[in-house]
Amino acid sequence: MGDNIYLPKLARVIHIKEEVPGERAIKTFRLEFMGDDGFEHECGQCAMLSIFGQGESMISIASSPLVTDYKQFSIMRAGRVTSAFHSLAVGDVVGIRGPYGNSFPVDDWRGKNLVFIGGGCGLAPIWPVIQTAVTKRGDFKNISVFYGGRSPRDIMYQVELDKLRSTAEVHLSVDRVEEGWQEFCGFVPANLMSKAPSPDNAIAITCGPPVMIKFVIQNLRSLGFRDDQIYTTIENKMKCALGKCGRCNVGKDYVCVKGPVYSWADLKELPPEY
């Protein structure tokens, strides 16, 4: 008999940053494993984070696998467990089990142009790929990042995005313009179309609200991207993260195991129920 798959490891909160304020607040947490008990992960994978007494929540690991001192998570306050996260202080200890799910085939993308398209909290699941690509910059060709929020205050990772500009194209947008905003005003899919990245030797990676993903994929295809050049992540309500509780399936795939990463070529074969 191996490890107890339901028993979390423990991690201490070493850093908390308020990314986005307000009703749909986002905070970024850095967790450090306690003792020698930790795990490595690949881009796109998630972990089940526990607040004992409240429950667990499946959150994308937002730090690159190349970062070994901590694991980063950006969590939007949405319900019971995530609200409890937003009440944490540095030094608090939470549970963590993982890594779960599949990963972006980043190694296959060497030598290619990478186009990242994110919206809202959806920047976090693709952030590890961006960070890995930027760290191993020579392995990849052109890197562009399209990212937007409802208003300037809803843009997360603002400092990090600014840092990216020296080595990648960063195209920000807001749905609602506010005074002082210099960049694109409108939805992320529209920003994408206005810059019209080329599909040649390119991979597009997108994550965000379902309606944004739908239009982004539509637009990418109209720009000439093939279905196997488009990658996204899907999510569903999850409890076990082990493909057993029966809850997160889309057709025959349990998203916690076979996902969350899907190419559009694979995703369109699944029943449209997510």
Q: Does 6 bind other proteins (CB under 8 A)?
A: yes
Which stretch in 124-132, 166-174, 184-192, 240-248 sits in contact with other proteins by CB under 8 A?
240-248
CA distance 143 to 132: 11
**Hey, what's the torsion of the CAs at 267, 271, 272, 274, to 10 degrees?**
-80
CA distance 203 to 216: 13
Q: Does 251 bind other proteins (CB under 8 A)?
A: yes
* Structure-token pair, residue 47: 């972990």
Contact between 233 and 60 (Cβ < 8 Å): yes
Q: Does 37 bind other proteins (CB under 8 A)?
A: no
Contacts with other proteins in 147-186 (CB under 8 A)?
A: none
* Structure-token pair, residue 127: 């952030």
Contact between 176 and 200 (Cβ < 8 Å): no
Contact between 233 and 61 (Cβ < 8 Å): no
To other proteins, the closest distance from the beta carbon of 274 in angstroms equals 5
Which stretch in 46-54, 59-67, 103-111, 132-140 sits in contact with other proteins by CB under 8 A?
46-54
Q: Looking at 92, 139, 183, 266, which residue binds other proteins (CB under 8 A)?
A: 92
Q: Does 78 bind other proteins (CB under 8 A)?
A: yes
Q: Does 10 bind other proteins (CB under 8 A)?
A: yes
Q: How many residues does the chain have?
A: 274
3-state SS class at 107: helix
Q: What is the DSSP letter of 187?
A: -
* Structure-token pair, residue 273: 């129920």
Q: Does 214 bind other proteins (CB under 8 A)?
A: no
Q: Looking at 33, 39, 181, 274, which residue binds other proteins (CB under 8 A)?
A: 274
CA distance 192 to 187: 9
Q: Does 19 bind other proteins (CB under 8 A)?
A: no
Q: Does 8 bind other proteins (CB under 8 A)?
A: yes
Q: Does 252 bind other proteins (CB under 8 A)?
A: yes
Q: Does 36 bind other proteins (CB under 8 A)?
A: no
Q: Which of 139, 197, 202, 138 is nearest to 171 (CA)?
A: 197
Q: Looking at 63, 82, 103, 206, which residue binds other proteins (CB under 8 A)?
A: 82
- Crossing angle of helices 188-195 and 210-222, in 10° steps, is 20
To other proteins, the closest distance from the beta carbon of 64 in angstroms equals 25
Q: Does 79 bind other proteins (CB under 8 A)?
A: yes
92 vs 169, beta carbon nearer other proteins: 92
Catalog residues that contact other proteins under the rule CB under 8 A.
1-8, 10, 12, 23, 34, 52-56, 77-80, 82-84, 89, 91-93, 95, 210, 217, 221, 227, 235-237, 239-240, 242-249, 251-252, 257, 264, 268-274
